Structure 1
């Protein structure tokens, strides 16, 4: 029987610049209102996200100017490297593990391009060994925290006793666009923030919380629901307004299907820990999963404090659940480009 991977530690990090939601609305109005007649109609979106504040790698003045690929990439590399190191060092300290003891690094990020990838760029600063295995993962978007955890757990399980470091990091704010006067861009401006989470996993010993199983569901003909377009200025958000409706209609059956393949039932799940895509998505998840209204309390708290940070957000929710005390079995879920649902079952020892 294979030994399952344990979560040895979890840590989160955000960049230094905090933006209040009203501050972002004022900035967006100053940039777009004169050129986009529908802006004031859509401005109510900012008040209905459930977000109080969120964080960005650059001061708010940076976002008020139109930026191209070189400026975005420079900001991404500088901000992402700092955030990676901070989150990873916290997780290593909590695991009482040195960077030189890490055997595999899984880096999940879809909001910037770096070659060499982020873990290579910070390797000397972190103190990783020269023979560390690097697994960069791009393109999972909001599903990246859950799918990345599943990947890291399988790598740990394949080599019991080795240490795997997962870092999920996204700088969503750098994709702000002045030229795309669309509802999708306004929605993105009202929701997204920057953040990182790091997890140390090990199979074979220790750890109260273990990765029991994982699953994914890819729906056909759904490429246009969520993702990036790419043009000379940078990434452009693809974000359909039908996402909450899609979640409510399809997520329940998808989770039931994935859980059945894990050989247990929905009734055996004590708590759902979900990626909170937005206030409407949280409500849709509660309905799709037949949860009581308000059951996803950590999810609402995280989106209020940080906004939607894409991949790492669900790990911020998990951090709060761990601090409160985990039930015997929890299911992490997230949705991302593809359109894809991803889930990880966690087993917690009392």
Structure 2
């Protein structure tokens, strides 16, 4: 029997430290200009990125010193735990529920390691029940907000009356590396920020919107487009310059195919809610989805205020779309390592 899964609550959280783009640019110049012949050609990315500021779990001064795995992961555990509690508490409050009402928690994160996982570390503070089901998910990267939402919705649908909490947390800034004077590291230092978002998914209890369809597509032979390397000092960014071109040429047909598989056409989508991976990626998405220039300006605004926070960023866009008033049908789209694309369609609650 088909069960309608509803989004009943959505909560956001960001760290207290704010890095303004001009300050990040000045720091990058001081750290890399003397070690990179091509730094002057890369420097304009800070002003051309469309980003004004970002939130980080550590102050700007922290990034001037070298840090190894132990320090980075300690900062990850502490920062991710705080953001989990803040985002989850806000989402549950909006849904009119408490942590005791949660039957299953899906935690999505790809920017740090913690065993036990973050939801176990904060279980006492949150006051989760001892019989809560835990589903930690690693490796989805920027696609994790949509893919995690899909996983959580399927778990909710499979358990009548279950309430599922999704929390996407990323501390991208902790991957910043002084030891890597490379183009991709400079680009990453201009784009990424930290944040978390939480969603409450329920069946048959009303809410903000209902999940209509889900879909994912994994492109073969694309492992080098996006991801992490695992090095002695920490994680290293993998981010291909060809990403905007890939989006322009390959994403449109795949989205159309996913929608068609669920009996939908692209023209039936009233609002696209896209992960803002970067200014050029948003331009490419508007072209790939045959949208007018400026259609994804909410995404650009989120990017300007928070940078690319990886998995939770698309949920920041969704929250903005909800505040503005969701249309009849929306489609959430995010791309991530693999290379992959995920899509969920939502119907506005009656």
Q: If the length of structure 2 is used for normalisation, what is the TM-score? A: 0.99
3-state SS of paired residue (2:43):
helix
C-alpha separation in 2, matches of 1:232 and 1:301:
36
2:65 corresponding residue in structure 1: 65
For 2:208 and 2:54, locate their aligned partners in 1 and report how far apart those are by CA, in whole Å: 31
Matched, 1:168 2:165: no
Shift of 1:99: 0.4
Question: Using the alignment, how far apart are the partners of 2:211 and 2:123 within structure 1?
Answer: 27
| Corresponding residue number in structure 2 for 1:47 | 47
Q: Which moved more, 1:207-216 or 1:332-341?
A: 207-216
RMSD over aligned CA atoms reads 0.8
8 Å CA contact 1:160, 1:202 repeated in 2: no
Distance in structure 2 (CA, Å) of the matches to 1:169 and 1:84: 7
SS of match in other structure, 1:58: coil
Residue equivalent to 1:85: 85
C-alpha displacement of 1:266 = 1.0
Worse-matched range after superposition: 91-100 or 168-177: 91-100
Matched, 1:118 2:122: no
1:75 aligns with 2:75: yes
Q: Please report how far the alpha carbon of residue 349 of structure 1 lies from its aligned counterpart in structure 2 after TM superposition.
A: 3.0
Contact 1:334 1:341 (C-alpha < 8 Å) held by counterparts: yes
Q: 2:184 aligned with 1:184, yes or no?
A: yes
Q: SS where residue 44 of structure 2 aligns? A: helix
TM-score computed with the length of structure 1 as normaliser: 0.99
**C-alpha offsets along residues 298-334 of structure 1, whole Å, 9 cap, x if unaligned?**
1011000000000000000000000000111100000
- Provide the rounded CA distance (Å) in 2 between the counterparts of 1:10 and 1:151: 16
**Once the two structures are superposed, what CA deviation does each residue of 1:188-246 show, in whole Å capped at 9, x if it has no partner?**
00100000000011012211300111000110000000000001111000000000000
Tell me how far apart the structure 1 counterparts of residues 230 and 8 of structure 2 sit (CA, whole Å): 38
Identify unmatched segments of 5+ residues in structure 2.
none
State the aligned residue count.
350
- The aligned counterpart of 2:214 is 214
Q: Structure 2: how far apart are the matches of 1:23 and 1:346? A: 39
**Secondary structure at 1:130's aligned position in 2?**
coil
1:139-178 matches, within 5 Å, as 139-178=139-178
Q: Gaps spanning 5+ residues in structure 1: where?
A: none
Distance (whole Å) between structure 2 residues aligned to residue 297 and residue 262 of structure 1: 27
Q: Partners of 1:51 and 1:38 in 2: how far apart?
A: 22
Kindly report structure 1 stretches of 4+ aligned residues shifted beyond 2 Å: none
Which residue matches 1:291?
291
CA distance in 2, matches of 1:166, 1:66: 33
> Counterparts of 1:93 and 1:20 in 2: how far apart (Å)?
31
TM-superposed CA distance for 1:96, in Å, is 1.4
